[in-house]
A and B are shown apart, each in its own frame.
Chain A
Amino acid sequence: MEIRVKCGCEKEECSEWTIVELQGVVETQSSFQGSLHNLEIGRLCHSDSSQETYTFTVGYHELIGSKVTLKKPLLVLKKRKDDLSEKSSELQVLGIIRTKILFKTRPKPLISATN
C-alpha cells in the first residue's frame, strides 16, 4: 500500500516542533477527574544564558532541563482520510522535530511555609 506523504508547506519552511520530555507523570488533581481540558499545565521558561537551560513549572514543582538534539529527527504527521477514495490515505506533514527539551533531574519543590 502506498502511503503518500505530502508536505503542505512548499513555499515556506516546515514548521519546527519540540518534544518536552519529562521523567515522571503530570497528573491532574483528583477533583478534575482526569480531564485536562482548559487547564494550565505549567510554564516553560527559557533562560537567556549561554547554556540552553529551560525551567518548567508544574504545580508546585520546578523542573530544570536542557535542549537536546535528536539523533534522528522526527516528523509530525497528520493522517488525512480521503472521503472520495477510501483506499488511499494521505499523511500530511505538520512539522519536523529536531530537538527535545529533556527534564531528567529531580524536581525542585516550590512549597513555601504558608502552603
Chain B
Amino acid sequence: MEFDIPLPEELELLEANSYFPEEEEDDDYLNFEEPPYPYPIDGDEEVDISGCKRLRKVIPDPIVNLDEVSPASEKRSKIGDNNRVEMEDEEWLRFSPVKEVVDVMEEEEEEEVILPQETILSRYASEIDGECIPITAPDGGDRVYAKFCRGLGDEPVKKLDMKTKSNGLLKDPISVLLQQSEQDAFNKVLQTSSEDQNETIHAVTSVMHEKLWVDKYSPSSFTELLSDEQTNREVLLWLKQWDASVFGSEIRSTTDEVLSALKRHSTTSHHQKSDSAFTRKNQFNRWSKGSFTNHKKSDESNSKSTDIHDLWNKKSKLSGPPEQKILLLCGAPGLGKTTLAHVAAKHCGYRVVEINASDERSAVAIETRILDVVQMNSVTADSRPKCLVIDEIDGALGDGKGAVDVILKMVLAERKHATGKENIDNGKTSSKKERRTAPLSRPVICICNDLYAPALRPLRQIAKVHVFVQPTVSRVVNRLKYICNMEGMKTRSFGLSALAEYTECDIRSCLNTLQFLNKKNETLNVIDIGSQIVGRKDMSKSLFDIWKEIFNKRKMKRERSNASSSEAKSFDFLHTLISSRGDYDLIFDGIHENILQLHYHDPVMEKTVSCLDSLGTSDLLHRYIMRTQQMPLYVYFPSLVIPIHRLVAQIQKPTIQWPKSYHRCRTLLVEKQESLRSWHHKMPPYIGRHLSIKSFVEDSVSPLLHILSPPTLRPVASHLLSDRQKDQLAGLVMLMCSYSVTYKNVKPDPALSKLREDGASDASVLALDPHLFDFISFKGHQFKHHILTLAMKQVLLHEVEMQKILLASGGRSGVLNKPEIKKTAPDLARKTVAASNESRRIPITSKPPSVPVEKATTSKAKPGDVKKASRNALTFFDRFRKSRKDYEDPEDVQKRATAKRDSRPLLFKFNEGFTNAVKRPVRMREFLL
C-alpha cells in the first residue's frame, strides 16, 4: 500500500504532457508491468478488486500498523470524493458544486497533516527512514523514493504462485488476466484523471511548477471541445474523409463509433464520461461499443445526427482523399482552433506534427519537413500516420509564404497527377508517377488568424476554409466557472461573463487572467476588468472587421449600460481598433468605397455631406503627411473615423467590399497620361510646345475633336468634291499630319463600339491613333461630337499617309529638283492650323481647281510664301537648316550646284530593252496585202 501515492503523481505527470489516455496505454503499461519490484497495481480503482484484501493483510503488520491506516482511510475518502465527483460531474453545469470543493479542501488539509508524520514518498531518500526504493516516472524522468516494506512484498508473489497453479481452470493465464485488469483500471484512472487533477496537483505543489490553466484544462477529447459544434463536426468529417486513403479499409469499423461520438456530442454538449472499460483491439477503437449502445438507447433521435449519418454514408463510399486537401481554420485568437485541430486529429488516429511560428519557416526547411510528415511512414513503435498542423501560417509574411508555396506546389502536383491518372488509368504507371511527383497523402491543417492575409490568398482558393465563430458567452462562462471551482477560486458568474465579453470569448486570455488573479490572491472584480490588463494575443483585426465595426452599430452595449458611457466605450474601442491596425489610407479607401452603399436615413444629404467632409479632411491630412513626412500627424486619423461611425452606423450588417476603385482609377490615369505623353512627343515641337498635357485635357481636346471630325465632309471620290470641300479636306489632312493624329485599325471594344455607335462593330474599327475620344468619355456621359463615317475615315487615313510620305521625302527631293515643295508643305500646314483654329472661316488661298489634293500641295509654289515658310519649319532642327539654306540661296547654293555639276559632267543613261513585246503569229500573206 505504500505505493498508492506514486501513482497519482505519475498520472499527474502524464497529464502534464497532456497525452491522450489511449496514447499512454502502450508505453506506460509496459512500465507498470516491469518495476524492479513487485509493483502493486494502483490505488483508487484497485480497491474494489484486491485492495480490501490487501488492506486486511497490511493491518496486522507491526511495522506499518499505525501509519498504514491513515493513508488507507485517506484513500477511501478520496475514492468517495471521486465517486461523488463522477456523479456530480454530469450536473456540474446546473449546480455549483460547492460540496465537492469543500471535500477537496478538507482532504487536502488532511493530507498535509498526514504527510509530515511519515514520509512514504519523497523526492529525497534521506527523508524516508528505513529501506527505500527509487521510482522513476515513465516520462519526464522525475525520480521519487518510496519506502520499502518487506512484509508486503511476499504477499503478491504468493498469490501469483497460487493462481498460476490453478491455471488450467482459467481460459487465459493469470498474467494475461492481471494485465487486463491492470489495464482496465488504468484506463479508468486516466479517464477520471481530469477530475482528479486538482487533488493531485496540490499534493505535489511543493515539487512541481504550477501549470498554466490553459494547458491544464485544455480539452483532451473531442467531446470536451468548446468551439462551435458545427465546425467541430465538419473538421472531423473532413479528417475522416482521409481514412480511405490513409488507413485503407481498416478504418471502416470505427465509423459507427465516430458517428455515435458525434451524436453524443451533439446531444450532450458537455463532457460525459464513459463508465465502462476500454478495449484496445483496434487502435482507434477507444470507445467500447457497449457504452455507445447505451448512449444510443438513451439518445432521442436527433435530426442533426441523422443528417450527419447520411452525409457520412455518402462520403464513406468515396475512396481517396477529400476534394480539398488542405483545411484552413481561421478565427480570432483563443477560440480553440489549435486545440480543435489537435483533438480532432488525435481522435481520428493521427499523430499530430505541429509547425508553428517558433519553428524555422524558410521554404527549404519547411518543404523537407512537410515532405517528411506527409510522405513517409515512421518505423518507430508509434506508427500512426501523421497529420500536419501548421499553426499561425499567416504569422510571418515573408517566411510564412514558404509554407504556403510548398503546400500549393504539392496540391497542384497532385492535381496534375490526378488528371494524368485519368488519362492513363493504369495501376502500374500511376504508382510510378506517384513516386515521381510529390502528392499530398496526409491531411494538412493550417491555422491562421486573418483569413485575408495577402500570403494566404492562393491557399484560400484550394483549401477548405472554416471560420471560427465565437462560442456563446454562457458556454465560456460555464467552462470558466468549472475551472475556477476546480482551482478553488471564488468567482461570480457575473464577473466571469463580463470577463468573457471583454475578451470576446477568448478563453485563453480569460484563463490566463484568472490564473494571474488567483496567484495574486485577488478576486475577479467586474469594475476592474476594463482597467486590468487582460493578457491578449497581440494581433490587430483584419480590415474587413474594422470596416464592419465602423459601419455596424453595436446593440448589446447600448442595452447594458447608459448611453453616455457606451458612447465613450465605443469611441475608445474604435480608436484603439483603428490605431492598432494602422493602414489608415486603406481604411479610408474602404470607407469611401462602401459608405455610399449603406442604407442610412438621410433625407437632406446632411450626413453624406459631413461624412464626405471627414473623408476630405483625411485626404488633406494624408496628402500633407506625405508631402512633409510628418508622421506624427497620423495620430489624428482614427478620430476622423469616429464621426463617420456615429453618422452612418447601422444595426444591420453591411456588405463590405474591398476598395478597388482607387487602384482602378489610378492605373487608368497613368495609362492615359502615358498615351498622351507619347503623343505629345510625336508631335512636331513647334506645335507641341504650345500644348501642355494638362491644359489639353481640360480645355482643348474637345475643340480639337470637333475640328478633326467636321460634319460637312462627305465620303465621296475626290474629283466629285467642290473646291471648298477639297480645301477642307486638305486642311484636315494637314492638321492631322501636323498633330500627328491618324486613324488606326483597332479591335472592336464592345463598350467603345456601343459608345461610338460605329455600326461596324464586328469588323475592326478605325479609331484615332492617340485615342483622343478616351479623354472625354466618362461614365454615363454621351459626348456630342460628330463621328465620321468609316469611309471618310479610310479616305482620311489614306490622305494622311500620303501626306506623311510627301513630307518625309520633301527634304531630299527638294534639294535636287523641286526645292519648292518643302517650302510649301509647312506653309500649308501653318495655314491649315490657323484656318482650323479660326474654325475655318478664312478661305485657303486659291488653288488650281482640277488638281487633286496631293498634287495641289506639291504644285502650289509661291515665291511670296518662301520667307514666311522659313519661319515655320517642319521640325525644330529643320528650321535652322532650312533657314540657313534659304539665306544662302542666291550665290552659295548656285556655287555648290555648279561644283557638283562639274564634278560629274557626263551622265550615263541606260537604255532598257523591251521585253514585253507582243508575240503573235503573222502570215506572210498579211504583209503582201
CB closest residue in chain B, given A36: B906
Q: In the complex, which residues 414-465 of chain B have their Cβ closer than 8 Å to any Cβ of chain A? A: none
Closest Cβ of chain A to B42, distance in Å, is 108
Q: Does B904 contact A (CB under 8 A)?
A: yes
CB-based contact A60/B906 at 8 Å: no
- B-side contacts of A25, CB under 8 Å: 908-909, 911
Closest Cβ of chain B to A1, distance in Å, is 37
Contact partner of B909 (CB less than 8 A), chosen from A24, A31, A115, is: A24
Q: In the complex, which residues 875-929 of chain B have their Cβ closer than 8 Å to any Cβ of chain A? A: 898, 900-901, 904-913
CB closest residue in chain A, given B815: A115
Q: Does A29 contact B (CB under 8 A)?
A: yes
- In the bound assembly, the distance between CA atoms of A69 and B810 in angstroms comes to 48
Q: In the complex, which residues 25-61 of chain A have their Cβ closer than 8 Å to any Cβ of chain B? A: 25-29, 31-32, 36, 39-42, 58-61
CB-based contact A29/B907 at 8 Å: yes
- A-side contacts of B910, CB under 8 Å: 23-24, 61, 106-107
Contact with A along B851-865 (1 / 0, CB 8 A): 000000000000000
CB closest residue in chain A, given B912: A106
Q: Does A63 contact B (CB under 8 A)?
A: yes
- B-side contacts of A19, CB under 8 Å: none
CB-based contact B906/A42 at 8 Å: yes
Contact partner of B904 (CB less than 8 A), chosen from A36, A59, A107, is: A59
Closest Cβ of chain B to A62, distance in Å, is 9
- State how many residues of chain B have any CB contact under 8 Å with chain A: 13
Closest Cβ of chain B to A55, distance in Å, is 13
A24 with B906: in contact, given A29-B901, A31-B898 (CB under 8 Å)? no
- A-side contacts of B909, CB under 8 Å: 24-27
- In the bound assembly, the distance between CA atoms of A61 and B908 in angstroms comes to 7
Q: Does A76 contact B (CB under 8 A)?
A: no
Closest Cβ of chain A to B368, distance in Å, is 66
- In the bound assembly, the distance between CA atoms of A24 and B909 in angstroms comes to 5
- A-side contacts of B911, CB under 8 Å: 23-25
- B-side contacts of A28, CB under 8 Å: 905-907
- In the bound assembly, the distance between CA atoms of A26 and B913 in angstroms comes to 17
- In the bound assembly, the distance between CA atoms of A106 and B912 in angstroms comes to 8
CB-based contact B908/A26 at 8 Å: yes
- B-side contacts of A5, CB under 8 Å: none
Q: In the complex, which residues 686-734 of chain B have their Cβ closer than 8 Å to any Cβ of chain A? A: none
- In the bound assembly, the distance between CA atoms of A40 and B911 in angstroms comes to 21
Q: Does A22 contact B (CB under 8 A)?
A: yes
- In the bound assembly, the distance between CA atoms of A93 and B909 in angstroms comes to 33
CB-based contact B905/A63 at 8 Å: no
CB-based contact A60/B904 at 8 Å: yes
- State how many residues of chain A have any CB contact under 8 Å with chain B: 23
CB-based contact A29/B908 at 8 Å: no
CB-based contact B904/A26 at 8 Å: no
- A-side contacts of B898, CB under 8 Å: 31
- B-side contacts of A40, CB under 8 Å: 905-906
- In the bound assembly, the distance between CA atoms of A27 and B900 in angstroms comes to 16
CB closest residue in chain A, given B812: A113
Contact partner of B907 (CB less than 8 A), chosen from A36, A59, A63, is: A59
- In the bound assembly, the distance between CA atoms of A41 and B620 in angstroms comes to 83
- B-side contacts of A42, CB under 8 Å: 906, 908
- B-side contacts of A24, CB under 8 Å: 908-911
- In the bound assembly, the distance between CA atoms of A42 and B911 in angstroms comes to 18
- In the bound assembly, the distance between CA atoms of A29 and B901 in angstroms comes to 7
Contact partner of A32 (CB less than 8 A), chosen from B900, B905, B913, is: B905
Contact with B along A73-115 (1 / 0, CB 8 A): 0000000000000000000000000000000001100000001
- B-side contacts of A58, CB under 8 Å: 906-908
Closest Cβ of chain B to A35, distance in Å, is 10
- A-side contacts of B907, CB under 8 Å: 26-29, 58-61
- A-side contacts of B908, CB under 8 Å: 22, 24-27, 42, 58-59, 61, 63, 107
CB-based contact A31/B904 at 8 Å: no
- A-side contacts of B904, CB under 8 Å: 29, 59-60
- In the bound assembly, the distance between CA atoms of A48 and B904 in angstroms comes to 27
- A-side contacts of B900, CB under 8 Å: 115
Q: Among A22, A59, A60, A106, which residue has the most Cβ atoms of chain B within 10 A?
A: A59
Closest Cβ of chain B to A43, distance in Å, is 11
- B-side contacts of A23, CB under 8 Å: 910-911, 913
CB closest residue in chain B, given A115: B900
Closest Cβ of chain A to B902, distance in Å, is 8
Closest Cβ of chain A to B885, distance in Å, is 15
- In the bound assembly, the distance between CA atoms of A27 and B908 in angstroms comes to 6
- In the bound assembly, the distance between CA atoms of A36 and B908 in angstroms comes to 14
- In the bound assembly, the distance between CA atoms of A42 and B905 in angstroms comes to 9
- In the bound assembly, the distance between CA atoms of A42 and B176 in angstroms comes to 127
Closest Cβ of chain B to A36, distance in Å, is 8
CB-based contact B901/A39 at 8 Å: no
Q: Among B908, B910, B911, B913, which residue has the most Cβ atoms of chain A within 10 A?
A: B908
A41 with B906: in contact, given A24-B911, A25-B911 (CB under 8 Å)? yes
- In the bound assembly, the distance between CA atoms of A107 and B912 in angstroms comes to 11
- In the bound assembly, the distance between CA atoms of A24 and B906 in angstroms comes to 13
- B-side contacts of A29, CB under 8 Å: 901, 904-907
Closest Cβ of chain A to B915, distance in Å, is 13
- In the bound assembly, the distance between CA atoms of A23 and B914 in angstroms comes to 13
- A-side contacts of B913, CB under 8 Å: 23
- In the bound assembly, the distance between CA atoms of A25 and B907 in angstroms comes to 8
- In the bound assembly, the distance between CA atoms of A107 and B906 in angstroms comes to 14
CB closest residue in chain B, given A40: B905
- A-side contacts of B912, CB under 8 Å: 106
- In the bound assembly, the distance between CA atoms of A40 and B910 in angstroms comes to 19
CB closest residue in chain B, given A113: B812
- In the bound assembly, the distance between CA atoms of A107 and B910 in angstroms comes to 7
A59 with B906: in contact, given A23-B911, A24-B911, A25-B911 (CB under 8 Å)? yes
- In the bound assembly, the distance between CA atoms of A26 and B901 in angstroms comes to 15
- In the bound assembly, the distance between CA atoms of A108 and B912 in angstroms comes to 14
CB closest residue in chain B, given A59: B907
Closest Cβ of chain A to B767, distance in Å, is 37
Q: Among B905, B909, B910, which residue has the most Cβ atoms of chain A within 10 A?
A: B905
CB closest residue in chain B, given A110: B904
Contact with A along B516-540 (1 / 0, CB 8 A): 0000000000000000000000000
- B-side contacts of A41, CB under 8 Å: 906
- In the bound assembly, the distance between CA atoms of A102 and B901 in angstroms comes to 27
- In the bound assembly, the distance between CA atoms of A60 and B907 in angstroms comes to 7
- B-side contacts of A36, CB under 8 Å: 906
- In the bound assembly, the distance between CA atoms of A39 and B903 in angstroms comes to 10
- In the bound assembly, the distance between CA atoms of A7 and B906 in angstroms comes to 36
CB-based contact B901/A31 at 8 Å: yes
Closest Cβ of chain B to A30, distance in Å, is 9
- A-side contacts of B905, CB under 8 Å: 28-29, 32, 39-40, 59
CB closest residue in chain A, given B897: A31
CB closest residue in chain B, given A25: B909
- B-side contacts of A107, CB under 8 Å: 908, 910
Closest Cβ of chain B to A84, distance in Å, is 42
Closest Cβ of chain B to A8, distance in Å, is 33
- In the bound assembly, the distance between CA atoms of A27 and B904 in angstroms comes to 11
- B-side contacts of A22, CB under 8 Å: 908
- In the bound assembly, the distance between CA atoms of A28 and B909 in angstroms comes to 10
CB closest residue in chain A, given B910: A24
- In the bound assembly, the distance between CA atoms of A39 and B910 in angstroms comes to 20
- B-side contacts of A115, CB under 8 Å: 900
Please report A residues at the B interface, Cβ cutoff 8 Å.
22-29, 31-32, 36, 39-42, 58-61, 63, 106-107, 115
Please report B residues at the A interface, Cβ cutoff 8 Å.
898, 900-901, 904-913
- Which 3 residue pairs across A and B have the least CB separation, nearest first? A58-B908, A59-B907, A24-B910
Can you give 9 contacting A-B residue pairs, CB < 8 Å?
A: A22-B908, A23-B911, A28-B906, A28-B907, A29-B901, A31-B901, A40-B905, A58-B908, A107-B910
Apart from A41-B906, A59-B907, 19 more pairs, CB < 8 Å:
A23-B910, A23-B911, A24-B908, A26-B909, A27-B907, A27-B909, A28-B907, A29-B906, A31-B898, A31-B901, A39-B906, A42-B908, A58-B907, A59-B904, A61-B910, A63-B908, A106-B910, A106-B912, A107-B908
